[in-house]
Amino acid sequence: MDKMKMQLTEIANAIGIDDVPESWQEITIANVEFDSRKVRPNSLFIPLKGQRDGHDFVDNAIKNGAVATLWAKDHPNVPSAYPALIVDDPLASLQKLAVYYLRKINPKVVAITGSNGKTTTKDMTASLLETQFNVVKTEANFNNEIGVPVTLLNMNANTEVVVVEMGMDRPGQLDFLSKMAQPDTVVITMIGEAHIEFFGSRDKIADAKMEITDGLKEDGLFIYNGDEPLLRERSKQVEQQQYTFGSNAADELFATNIQTARDHTTFEINLVPNQTYEIPMIGEYNVMNALAAIAVAKAYHIDPAQTVAALRNFRVTHNRTEWVSGKNGELILSDVYNSNPTAAKEVISSFSQTETKGKRFVVLGDMLELGEQSDEMHASLRAYLDPQLISEVYLVGTHMKALAEGLKNKYEANQIHWYAVNEETQLIEDLQVKLTNQDEVLIKGSHGIHLEKVLSALQKAE
């Protein structure tokens, strides 16, 4: 479905091009695309410079249905066979167009960030808001300088709320994204150790996360995890209205009576006595994500009964901690696309409590971007691995060696297995021999370790 509808002349004017041919008034743009393979009819193509130069793919985009393109003025051979809007910088023009279109549609903007949980919180929040509003949300992980403007340009004319995920891997990034989107509501799910290699400390990560409030409207709302002292401290600098969620009575919204089963978690909240909430995911950390979404829903006056139903029926984003079946009949808890110490500890804790008739096995890959403290942080997972609950531990990668060493006085030698990153074939063979239809296995690691190869080899064909 086409998301937008604008004349090419309007787009040209929005990005600062006033002198345009009359013939352009006949051209209507229905969507904006920067990947020539995904271009649909009536697209405007944005040639960006990544590993390849997008200008090399303009002809391909036109063949696939694009009717116009942006073109960097310092790039030679301006095409004459189709409209080319000459700009200083195609990415900056994409961002400028997104801001123009955002003001034109004028929805409420909910912006979400956090070291863990931002994608799940974004999806939960959109599900709750969709019960009463026309909602557009960030697709996949389109959460950077390219993804955020593309999300904004994906709005239909009738969009009432846009839920925007915002990521960061350096100072200043969230400041830029927040000022672009000018949110009505901002959410910080938590502060962890993700990207600590680039920031040096959790304090500096918290400083960078707080940048999401930089573009918050004066009458906006700042929702954050009140259990995090680093956020409580920094929230004093924010003048806008604030609201906290968490697991303590000091929070305005907090969870009680959390019960985890294999494929769902139930909890209650202080604001609605005797009402059980259920999410189709395991782990107390996902209850925190649900609380963040409930806080947004409350701010937007969503009917509490609809909140309960929407959370129960919420669809989990693919590859985010999901159960799949293995070839030997074992159950596999897959989380192979992201890992950091906070997330790993939480999922190991939840996995350790699942009901099983057989054994529990854990496969952990290196957690990347942890800098000088990396070995120490990998070794810290030792406290979360209990031989009474986790029968065997399979570790992959250079830094996981530190954890393997740390487990030696806790586990028998034949219960700890370490592999280099290129030894996944041996790991797969070793696991296949051990796993039975009574067992469960957790697979978690940073994407760069490619544990999806292990998952794929173990998984039962659908």
Question: What domains can be seen in the chain, in order of their start residue?
Answer: 6-88 (3.40.1390.10), 107-312 (3.40.1190.10), 322-458 (3.90.190.20)
Burial of 255 (0-12, 13-18, 19+ CB in 10 A): buried
Cβ atoms of residues 24 and 12 within 8 Å: yes
Question: What's residue 22's pLDDT?
Answer: 87
| Short-list 338, 152, 117, CA closest to 228 | 117
| Short-list 411, 378, 410, CA closest to 396 | 378
The span from the CA of 328 to the CA of 84, in Å, is 57
Annotated binding site for ATP: 114-120
- The series of mean pLDDT values per 10 residues for the chain, 462 residues long, is 82 94 91 93 94 92 95 92 95 98 98 91 96 94 93 94 95 97 97 78 94 98 97 97 97 95 92 94 91 98 96 77 88 87 90 91 93 92 96 96 95 96 94 94 91 89 54
Listing DSSP states for 338-373 in one string gives: ---HHHHHHHHHHHHTS--SS-EEEEEEPPPS-GGG
Residues in the chain: 462
The span from the CA of 457 to the CA of 453, in Å, is 6
Annotated binding site: 114-120
Question: What's residue 319's pLDDT?
Answer: 56
